[in-house]
Amino acid sequence: MYRLNKNIKILSVLVFTILFNGCNEPKLDPIAKGGTILAFGDSLTDGVGTTRSRSYPAVLADLTGLNVINAGVSGEKTDRGLERLPVELERSSPDLVILIEGGNDILRNISHSVIKQNLRVMIEMSQSRGIPVVLIGVPKKSLFSSSAPFYEELAEDFDLVYDGSLIVDLLRDPSLKSDQIHFNEAGYQEMAESINDLLENSGALP
């Protein structure tokens, strides 16, 4: 009987731990019908490699039924993004920002501490307006690499909904790419579907 009670206690602790950890996952408030998502970033947001109408923001708009603004600028580095973001936030008053930026900085060997700080200010800028941020990690500058570690560090610091594998996984599939660093129509379709799933799982979508 003692052993049975002990096993029940152990099982209860395990169940509680699983539930507690699950509850600790960052969550988003549901975006109301007619709401707006600001997709902010560089060429991967702009849709280089396909048409603008097949970029991930355009596909995500179709999937969610929400207004998804494509605020992607090809070739942009985070210093320029930092200057541009306040204008976009003021213009669109979004319910959510999806931030995918830093790839051009990494390609140009800009210090990771500089990139991280620029992204940090972008996140603070959005959150100070009551706008939640979803962060997508960008790979380090090496073949088949994982996302640069500062993305996950920022996600933890700000308790953000975060995906550090999406871009990495898509870039590993040649059938989804238009060149070494951009996707084709199929790639952006998968990108949008993955982000849609991320938003659903985090509570932003019904």
- What per-residue confidence (pLDDT) applies to 13? 42
- What per-residue confidence (pLDDT) applies to 20? 39
Over residues 189-203, the pLDDT tens digits come to 999 999 999 999 999
**Rounded Cα–Cα distance for residues 175 and 170 (Å):** 9
Low-confidence stretches of the chain (pLDDT < 70) are 1-24, 143-144
- What per-residue confidence (pLDDT) applies to 1? 54
Beta bridge partners of 96: 37
Over residues 86-110, the pLDDT tens digits come to 999 999 999 999 999 999 999 999 9
What the chain holds in terms of domains, given with CATH numbers, is 2-202 (3.40.50.1110)
SS3 state of residue 175: helix
**Rounded Cα–Cα distance for residues 193 and 56 (Å):** 8
- What per-residue confidence (pLDDT) applies to 2? 45
- What per-residue confidence (pLDDT) applies to 16? 41
Do residues 142 and 181 make contact, with C-beta atoms less than 8 angstroms apart?
no
Task: Give residue 92's region: left, alpha or beta (phi > 0; psi -120 to 50).
Answer: alpha
- What per-residue confidence (pLDDT) applies to 145? 77
- What per-residue confidence (pLDDT) applies to 144? 60
Q: Where are the alpha helices (DSSP H) in the chain?
A: 2-23, 43-46, 56-64, 78-92, 103-107, 112-127, 149-158, 166-171, 185-202
- What per-residue confidence (pLDDT) applies to 143? 54
